[in-house]
Structure formats: structure tokens, C-alpha cells
């Protein structure tokens, strides 16, 4: 699984390209669509990171690695829920967030690399971004430090 993790980290930055058929959309439909929006290029993915300038080196390392390029992944959101403000504040230090569950699969073989991965998206000034904690958890798995 080690070689696929770095690739998964690079592609999972948008926390997933598409919503699965069973995705829970408890809460705001428009926010759910933003949380599961497709983003395929490096600049677009980097722009989706909360505090992206703080993680530029880790992001670049993951996205540009030969492992990531040789082992592309696809992500599938399976659930999006919108916790209460107090729960968001406790989990990711912002009042508005989405709890996201997703799977990471090999784009080449379709085999599962990680299933049931939990993370958060945060609403910053009306824009949904991958939370710092979610990115750093994936970066750590891929061998990059936050």
C-alpha cells in the first residue's frame, strides 16, 4: 500500500472528484456539490487547501513525486454530512464544516487503496476547502510533513 498512498495523497486533495450514488447529502445541496467538485490540475487542487501557502512544500512533494505520477488514483465521496457549529469548532477550529467520507482507488486497476477515509472540508468565506487536518493526515501517509 505504501506506493499508492503518495499517489492517493496527490489526487485526493480535492477530497474527491465525484459523489457516489450512496452519498449522503444531509444539509445544503450546493455545499455538497462544492465539497465533491472535480479538480484535476495541480494549481486547482492546491487552491482547495485551507492555508495552502503553509503546505506548499508538502503538496508539491506529493503531487510531483514519481510514485504519484506512475500510480494515479481516483477518489469517490461516499458521504457528506454537516455537523453542528460546536462540533466543527472542536474538530477543525472553524464554525462551518462538512464531514466527508471517501474511498481512494487506483485509476489504473480500480483496486481499493484506502476505503472509508474520513476527513473534513471547511467553509472559509463561502469557499469549501480541504481542512488542514485532512491534508496533513494524507500527507503523513505519503511521507511528507506538514
Q: Are the C-beta atoms of 142 and 136 separated by less than 8 Å?
A: no
| Cα separation, 27 vs 123, whole angstroms | 13
- Which residue segment(s) compose the domain that 85 sits in? 2-141
DSSP 8-state secondary structure symbol assigned to residue 14: G
On whether the pTM is more than 0.95, the answer is no
The total of other beta-carbon atoms located within 10 Å of residue 89's CB is: 14
- Tell me the per-residue pLDDT of 47-102, one tens digit each, with 9 for 90 and over: 888 988 888 888 887 777 777 777 777 778 888 899 999 999 999 999 999 998 88
DSSP 8-state secondary structure symbol assigned to residue 39: -
Residue 30 maps to a domain? yes
* Strands (E) located in the chain: 18-19, 73-81, 97-106, 112-124, 127-130
Residue 32 maps to a domain? yes
Residue 146 maps to a domain? no
How many structural domains comprise the chain? 1
- Tell me the per-residue pLDDT of 99-145, one tens digit each, with 9 for 90 and over: 988 888 888 888 888 899 999 989 999 888 889 998 888 888 777 77
Amino acid at each position: 500500500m505504501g506506493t499508492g498512498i503518495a499517489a492517493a495523497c496527490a489526487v485526493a486533495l480535492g477530497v474527491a472528484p465525484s459523489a457516489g450514488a450512496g452519498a449522503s447529502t444531509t444539509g445544503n445541496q450546493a455545499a455538497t456539490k462544492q465539497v465533491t467538485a472535480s479538480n484535476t490540475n495541480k494549481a486547482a487542487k492546491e487552491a482547495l487547501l485551507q492555508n495552502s501557502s503553509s503546505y506548499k512544500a508538502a503538496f508539491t512533494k506529493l503531487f510531483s513525486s514519481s510514485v504519484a505520477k506512475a500510480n494515479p488514483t481516483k477518489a469517490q465521496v461516499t458521504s457528506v454530512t454537516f455537523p453542528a457549529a460546536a462540533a466543527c469548532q472542536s474538530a477543525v477550529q472553524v464554525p462551518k464544516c462538512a464531514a466527508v467520507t471517501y474511498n481512494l482507488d487506483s485509476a489504473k486497476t480500480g483496486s481499493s487503496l484506502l476505503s472509508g477515509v474520513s476527513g473534513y472540508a471547511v467553509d472559509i468565506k463561502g469557499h469549501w476547502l480541504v481542512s488542514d487536518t485532512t491534508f496533513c493526515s494524507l500527507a503523513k501517509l505519503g511521507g511528507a510533513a506538514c
